[in-house]
Amino acid sequence: MRPRDRQLRITDLVRTQGKISVDELVQRFSSSAETIRRDLTLLSANGKLKKIHGGAVPLRDFGEGAFAQRMLQNAEAKRLIADKARHLVSPGDSLFIDTGSTTLVMAEALAAIDELTVVTNSTAIARIIGSANVTTRVYLLGGSYNEDNRQTCGAMALNQLDGFHGNLAIMTVGAISADAGVMDYNFDEAAIARAMIARSDRVIVLADASKFDRVAPFVVASFEQIDALVSDRAPQGVLAEHLNQAAVEVI
């Protein structure tokens, strides 16, 4: 396993378990204790976790509210989605990326791609990408700030989007329904997502299978507005049929 892949897995384990020991990581990855300690030192320096005597614990960088809980849910699925989706992004792309637990995981993968132009309303995503890759330009939208999920939204953020255009929009959503399309549970987040989609050439939705066949109050987009859906598991039944009819590529 490559060091970067091992370190990403360690970060996931710490987030999901809450605390993990060096000995457990040695056994899990068949690595030496010295290698694991170096990984923890690097991850701690990069703000991914907190290194303690004999192991590591989460930084709780995502707050204690609902967003923190979403970060812990389906962590492996979100990592798989990010690994798939990063192959859809090339050096030199300009892209929008909205706030969400899955797009936050995706940001770590994007940090390894050079010469991107990234427009986001997530301060956490801006920090991850901006601090990891000096070749990428990151533009953070201003607006009303929400501490729970580290995002800006509202009229100011929407107005600033008028100055940008992206060849990609990478979005996460709260629900996907055969009848209603893709939806979200937050009015302001849905408004930002719609504005980003309207200013993009290609739209990629990231959603784990738990979002399938669910309905949320605020519509983000119809299937006809989406080019690709990246998930950990292929949708089935009527949902799959509607996606196919709309020519949505399922990855």
Tens digit of pLDDT for each residue in 62-84? 433 455 555 555 678 888 999 99
Q: Is the pLDDT of residue 194 over 60?
A: yes
| Total-model pTM | 0.71
Higher pLDDT, 246 or 74: 246
pLDDT at 67: 54
- Sign, CA dihedral 162-164-167-172, equals negative
Select 66-250's CATH number: 1.10.8.60, 3.40.50.1360, 3.20.190.10, 3.30.428.10.
3.40.50.1360
**Which amino acid appears at position 82 of this protein?**
A
Residues of the chain with CATH 1.10.10.10: 3-57
List pLDDT tens digits, range 106-155: 998 998 899 999 999 999 999 999 888 889 999 999 988 877 677 898 99
Query: What CATH class has 3-57?
Result: mainly alpha
Question: Of 40-44, 85-89, 148-152, 185-189, where does the model show the most confidence?
Answer: 85-89
Most confident of 17-31, 45-59, 224-238: 224-238
Confidence of residue 185 (pLDDT cuts 50, 70, 90): confident
Q: Which two tokens stand for residue 174?
A: 């709260």
Pairing relationship of beta strands 181-184 and 175-177 according to DSSP bridges? antiparallel
Cα dist from 35 to 49, 176, 198, whole Å: 16, 42, 46
Confidence of residue 4 (pLDDT cuts 50, 70, 90): confident
Please, where in the chain does CATH 3.40.50.1360 lie?
66-250
Distance CA 39, CA 238 (A): 45
